[in-house]
Amino acid sequence: MKNMDKIREAARDPHGYAESYKARTHKKVVGYFCSYAPEEIIWAAGALPFRIFSGKSGIHLADRHLQSYCCSLVRGALEDGLSGTLKYLDGVVFPHTCDSIQRLSDIWRLNIPYGFH
């Protein structure tokens, strides 16, 4: 498979790519939010850094845990976490980029039973 084909495949289905990477390499996958996360440290630890974006599905589970001013990134990521879409993650990095992402770490820890933070 050519490099550009690999990039297209990963962009089309990022969750599928991360899950297959984990199964193929037996390495950990660590999710992170925004560019302030230490991606190089995740690589150096032997894990695949996985940028968490807002999900494509509707928000049904996350709204009961969040304030009305939280952005779509936080809402979508929490929705994906609560629904199990991100269950393959071995950990999640929550950098202090805004109040919503910083407090998301507490909500995640209390409600999502997988991965370290």
Q: Return the CATH number at 50.
A: 3.40.50.11890
- Report the pLDDT value the prediction gives residue 78, as an integer from 0 to 100: 95
For residue 86, tell me if it sits in a domain.
yes
Number of structural domains the chain divides into: 1
Hey, what are 13's tokens?
Answer: 């289905």
- Residue 8 resides in a domain: yes
Full residue range of the structural domain in which residue 48 is found: 3-111
In a domain, 77, yes or no: yes
In a domain, 116, yes or no: no
Of 32, 35, 80, which is closest to residue 55 (Cα–Cα)? 80
Q: How many CA atoms lie within 13 A of 31 on its CB side?
A: 27
Please indicate, yes or no, if residue 117 is contained in any of the structural domains. Answer: no
Residues 6+ apart with CB under 8 A from 20: none
Report yes or no on 99 lying in a domain. yes
Of 69, 109, 62, the C-alpha closest to 85 is: 62
Both tokens of 96, joined, read 């202090």
Query: pLDDT tens, position by position, for the chain (117 residues)?
Result: 688 988 898 889 999 999 999 999 999 999 998 888 899 999 999 999 999 987 667 888 999 999 888 999 999 999 999 999 999 999 999 998 899 998 999 999 999 987 776
pTM of the full predicted structure? 0.88
pLDDT, residue 117, reads 64
Other beta carbons within 10 Å of 28? 17
